[in-house]
């Protein structure tokens, strides 16, 4: 298979000027949105230069705006039903309702990011600082968006967003320091080249350190300090660089084109399995007699062309054309240190390229609000291994995924509307597992009812579809997969009931509350490691193992009065597999990324006269008992509960306009913990013995950020 050349890599490290810190505070309230792909978005949340919007909660105006986010988890873990597993920079793994990123639709500036690079890594390469907005659908509630568990749409900065009225150019410089994380430097310039053409140039560099775990001791499953450790996790130290160049052209008042090129590179001497804790890495490398650290580079090059247009008679059109290349390279010469593995020593590379186009049109005709469109994405993967013994291995696979859809929001009266929709999905696979075409017609129906001006009720049901995905890239791009001509597509049904309330009651300027009850049925669930009976040779392969049911609730309470904002949220997602007869060993298994009952609270207080903002948030996650799961620890997969507190303050001094200083402490009480959507638990291996998989999160981290906008 011929893979098109990569887009040019941006090398400049001295880019002019900067992003502004200024995003206006927004009054948020429960409302119906006209965009049908966002059926019940209950409010925005402004972070430094980033607006996070979720369908599961009404979020406060600043929420995590002063958290100095340097990992995607800092942005998204406060959203009910959403978590980001993985503490390593290579392992940012978004989960929604316990479903991992392979079951979600994730895009950056319209470019599809679904690339299954390596099972020890997350499938997302992005830094929080570059983002203008994040739009999250918790659950699939519309035919407009694919994905079994929902979608996450990232949008990077643009000059259009940053330039104030009458401003021709601007810039921003930022310096960041964390005593248990590393340092960062960001430089951005933006401006109008002509009356119609604008440009932004952005550079962000992060020098990431090995961090110390909470409590300063790395322990085994029994709670004993692991011999030879000093509390610091090795294999995390590295450099991350993110460069963006984006042009915008306002063709006229109603039509805009934007062209962007982004280059993201994360490199360092990293652990072989970044999703597993140091205890596991030490046990394996000491047993095999190979290095603990391996020279690794993960890069992403994305080119996008976006069009936004509005009709004078009402309606709009949005279109994206994109190319997204992700490449993972690792120098595995270290295998030569053990003669038994010398034939594995060499240079390994995996590349995943997504090329595609998507179009959506919205049009109001009387009481009807139509949304219709199409999308096509070509997924191409290539694997190559050049071994020191002179041998080579190569493999490639391809999938073309297409869909057309239409839905109509029918306004029956001022308070009630129905939204039916239909989608036709076609997926053509050219992979080792299957060379087949999968197609399905799916439908959706939603009812929105405004019970009173302050109470909004919504019920929806959406049919689901997902074909067998492309093989894991870095382990051979299908080279070692088994053929399964009988594998079937996944289908299912997501049903939800939501209630949202917002009003000035109980002495508040605004009191808000809401909940979402959901039930997601996934039929013919595909498991990558379905066990093969010993009588048939043993091992595992990719196969349908049964029907998976996921159900739960997301709820929130918000209270705003004067300068105080408070938000409390709760979420839980239980999962259980009804296994087919040949896979009864997996019966009643839960999804491995499942979290226990999760509570979160956030308080923000603004002292206007002092130009000071104060923030505190806490997340409390209850423990989970041991039980059957998919791909979890084999000996004991119980998950410890934890409570993590973060505090921060942001100050805008009057002596220098444009300057802001932010200080904070993450993990205030130095909790020793791992996210429950990360690797956890104890496994037994026939060669390595006990493997404690705990992917430790950082301990207490003092953070300081200074930025200047001009």
pLDDT digits (tens, 9 = 90+) for 360-402: 999 999 999 999 999 999 999 999 999 999 999 999 999 999 9
Mean pLDDT of 62-82: 74
Q: Which two tokens stand for residue 537?
A: 């040779």
User: What values do phi and psi take at 102, rounded to 5?
Assistant: -70, -20
pLDDT score, position 537: 85
**pLDDT surpasses 70 at 197:** yes
- Give the domains, in start order, of the chain with CATH numbers: 44-505+516-539+552-709 (2.40.170.20)
pTM of the prediction? 0.88
pLDDT score, position 58: 59
Three-state SS string over 600-612 comes to EEEEEEEECCCCE
Query: Do β-strands 590-591 and 629-630 pair in parallel, antiparallel, or remain unpaired?
Result: parallel
**pLDDT surpasses 80 at 216:** yes
Mean pLDDT of 157-165: 89
More confident residue, 306 or 55: 306
**pLDDT surpasses 70 at 181:** yes
CA triple 448-360-421, angle to 5 deg: 40
| DSSP characters over 62-91 | STTTTS---SHHHHHTTSTTEEEE-SSTT-
More confident residue, 107 or 42: 107
Q: Which two tokens stand for residue 299?
A: 């890069």
* Rounded CA separation 153/304 (Å): 14
For residue 502, give the nearest of 43, 9, 33 by alpha carbon.
Answer: 43
Q: Which two tokens stand for residue 574?
A: 């239980």
What element of type H or E holds 371? strand 368-387
CA 400 to each of CA 95, 298, 357, 688, 694: distance values in angstroms, whole numbers, following the listed order: 24, 24, 12, 41, 37
pLDDT score, position 7: 34
* Rounded CA separation 671/699 (Å): 6
Residue 682: beta bridge partners? 636, 692
**pLDDT surpasses 50 at 5:** no
For residue 139, give the nearest of 661, 590, 522, 483 by alpha carbon.
Answer: 522
What element of type H or E holds 643? strand 642-651
**pLDDT surpasses 90 at 13:** no
**pLDDT surpasses 90 at 603:** yes
Burial, 507: exposed, middle or buried (Cβ in 10 Å; 0-12, 13-18, 19+)? exposed
Residues 683-696 have pLDDT tens digits of 999 889 899 999 99
**pLDDT surpasses 80 at 606:** yes
Q: Which two tokens stand for residue 458?
A: 């919504």
More confident residue, 435 or 23: 435
Contacts for 672-675 with beta carbons within 8 Å, 24 or more apart?
A: 672/213, 672/214, 672/215, 672/217, 672/219, 672/696, 672/699, 673/214, 673/640, 673/642, 673/644, 673/697, 674/87, 674/277, 674/640, 675/73, 675/83, 675/84, 675/85, 675/86, 675/87, 675/595
CA 541 to each of CA 217, 472, 709: distance values in angstroms, whole numbers, following the listed order: 38, 12, 54
Q: Which two tokens stand for residue 304?
A: 């996008």
* Rounded CA separation 299/349 (Å): 11
Residue 288: beta bridge partners? none
Mean pLDDT of 641-652: 95
At a CB cut-off of 8 Å and minimum separation 6, what does 365 contact?
none
Residues 350-361 have pLDDT tens digits of 999 999 999 999
pLDDT score, position 215: 95
pLDDT score, position 461: 97
Q: What is the mean pLDDT of the chain?
A: 89
Residues 428-479 have pLDDT tens digits of 999 999 999 999 999 999 999 999 999 999 999 999 999 999 999 999 999 9
At a CB cut-off of 8 Å and minimum separation 6, what does 657 contact?
none
* Rounded CA separation 439/430 (Å): 15
What element of type H or E holds 555? strand 540-561
* Rounded CA separation 348/328 (Å): 8
At a CB cut-off of 8 Å and minimum separation 6, what does 561 contact?
507, 508, 509
CA 116 to each of CA 160, 164, 270: distance values in angstroms, whole numbers, following the listed order: 33, 40, 19
* Rounded CA separation 524/546 (Å): 5
In this prediction, residue 72 has a pLDDT band, given cuts at 50, 70 and 90, of confident
pLDDT score, position 493: 97
Is the CB of residue 464 less than 8 Å from the CB of residue 145? no
| DSSP characters over 8-52 | PPP-----------------------S-TTSTT---EEEETTEEE
Q: Which two tokens stand for residue 655?
A: 């002596």
At a CB cut-off of 8 Å and minimum separation 6, what does 5 contact?
none
More confident residue, 679 or 71: 679
What is the chain's Cα-based Rg? 25
CA triple 351-355-357, angle to 5 deg: 160
Helix, strand, coil in percent for the chain, rounding step 5 = 5, 55, 40
pLDDT score, position 70: 73
pLDDT score, position 49: 55
Q: Which two tokens stand for residue 238?
A: 């590295």
CA 430 to each of CA 180, 427, 466, 642: distance values in angstroms, whole numbers, following the listed order: 46, 10, 16, 44
For residue 189, give the nearest of 19, 40, 435 by alpha carbon.
Answer: 19
**pLDDT surpasses 80 at 24:** no
Q: Which two tokens stand for residue 11?
A: 């090398």
Is the CB of residue 1 less than 8 Å from the CB of residue 382? yes
In this prediction, residue 656 has a pLDDT band, given cuts at 50, 70 and 90, of confident
* Rounded CA separation 298/263 (Å): 11
* Rounded CA separation 398/355 (Å): 11
Is the CB of residue 602 less than 8 Å from the CB of residue 566? yes
Sign of the C-alpha dihedral, residues 302, 528, 491, 550?
negative
């Amino acid at each position: 298979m011929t893979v098109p050349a990569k887009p040019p890599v941006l090398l400049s490290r001295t880019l002019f000027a900067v992003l502004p810190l200024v995003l206006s505070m927004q009054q948020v309230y429960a409302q119906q949105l006209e965009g049908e792909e966002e059926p019940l978005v209950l409010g925005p949340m402004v972070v430094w230069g980033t607006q996070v919007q979720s369908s599961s909660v009404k979020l406060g105006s600043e929420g995590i705006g002063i958290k100095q986010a340097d990992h995607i988890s800092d942005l998204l873990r406060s959203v009910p039903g959403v978590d980001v597993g993985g503490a390593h920079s290579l392992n940012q793994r978004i989960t929604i309702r316990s479903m991992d990123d392979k079951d979600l639709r994730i895009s950056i500036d319209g470019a599809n990011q679904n690339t299954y690079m390596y099972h020890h890594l997350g499938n997302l390469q992005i830094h929080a600082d570059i983002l203008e907005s994040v739009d999250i659908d918790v659950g699939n509630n519309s035919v407009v968006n694919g994905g079994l568990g929902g979608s996450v749409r990232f949008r990077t900065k643009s000059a259009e967003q940053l330039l104030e009225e009458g401003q021709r150019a601007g810039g921003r410089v930022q310096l960041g320091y964390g005593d248990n994380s590393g340092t960062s430097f960001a430089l951005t310039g933006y401006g109008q080249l002509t009356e119609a053409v604008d440009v932004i140039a952005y550079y962000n560099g992060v020098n990431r350190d090995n961090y110390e775990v909470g409590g300063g001791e790395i322990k085994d499953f029994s709670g004993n300090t692991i011999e030879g450790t000093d509390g610091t996790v090795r294999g995390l130290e590295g450099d991350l660089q993110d460069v963006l160049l984006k042009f915008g052209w306002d063709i006229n008042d109603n039509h805009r084109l934007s062209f962007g090129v982004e280059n993201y590179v994360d490199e360092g001497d990293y652990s072989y399995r970044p999703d597993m804790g140091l205890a596991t890495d030490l046990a394996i490398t000491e047993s095999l007699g190979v290095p603990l650290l391996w020279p690794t580079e993960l890069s992403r090059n994305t080119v996008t062309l976006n069009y936004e247009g509005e009709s004078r008679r009402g309606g709009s059109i949005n279109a994206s054309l994109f190319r997204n290349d992700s490449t993972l390279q690792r120098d595995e010469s270290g295998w030569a240190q053990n003669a038994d593995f010398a034939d594995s020593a060499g240079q390994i590379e995996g590349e995943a390229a997504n090329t595609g186009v998507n179009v959506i049109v919205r049009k109001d005709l009387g009481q009807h609000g139509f949304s219709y469109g199409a999308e096509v994405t070509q997924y191409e993967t290539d694997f190559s291994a050049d071994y020191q013994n002179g041998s080579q291995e190569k493999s490639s696979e391809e999938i073309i995924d297409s869909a057309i859809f239409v839905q109509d929001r029918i306004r029956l009266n001022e308070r009630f509307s129905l939204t039916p929709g239909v989608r036709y999905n076609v997926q053509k696979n050219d992979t080792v597992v299957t060379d087949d075409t999968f197609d399905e017609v799916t439908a959706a129906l939603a009812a929105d009812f405004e019970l009173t001006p302050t109470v909004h009720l919504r019920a929806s049901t959406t049919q689901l579809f997902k074909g067998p995905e492309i093989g894991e890239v870095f382990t051979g791009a299908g080279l070692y997969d088994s053929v399964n001509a009988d594998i079937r597509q996944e289908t299912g049904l997501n049903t939800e009931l939501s209630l949202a309330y917002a009003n000035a009651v109980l002495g508040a300027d605004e009191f808000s509350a809401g909940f979402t009850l959901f039930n997601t049925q996934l039929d013919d669930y595909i498991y990558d490691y379905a066990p093969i009976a010993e009588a048939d040779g043993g091992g595992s392969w990719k196969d349908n193992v049964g029907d998976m049911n996921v159900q739960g609730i997301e709820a929130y309470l918000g209270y705003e009065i004067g300068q105080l904002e408070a938000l409390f949220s709760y979420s839980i997602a239980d999962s259980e597999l009804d296994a087919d007869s040949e896979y009864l060993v997996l019966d009643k298994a839960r999804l491995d990324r499942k979290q226990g009952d999760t509570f979160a609270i956030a308080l923000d207080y603004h002292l206007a006269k002092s130009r000071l903002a104060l923030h505190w948030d806490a997340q409390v996650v209850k423990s989970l008992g041991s039980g059957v799961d998919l791909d979890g620890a084999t000996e004991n997969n119980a998950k410890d509960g934890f409570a993590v507190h973060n505090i921060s303050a942001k100050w805008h001094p009057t002596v220098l306009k444009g300057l802001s200083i932010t200080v904070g402490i993450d993990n205030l009480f130095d909790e020793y913990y791992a996210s429950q959507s990360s690797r956890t638990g104890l496994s037994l291996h026939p060669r390595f013995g006990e493997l404690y998989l705990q992917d430790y999160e950082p301990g207490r981290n003092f953070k300081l950020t200074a930025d200047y906008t001009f």
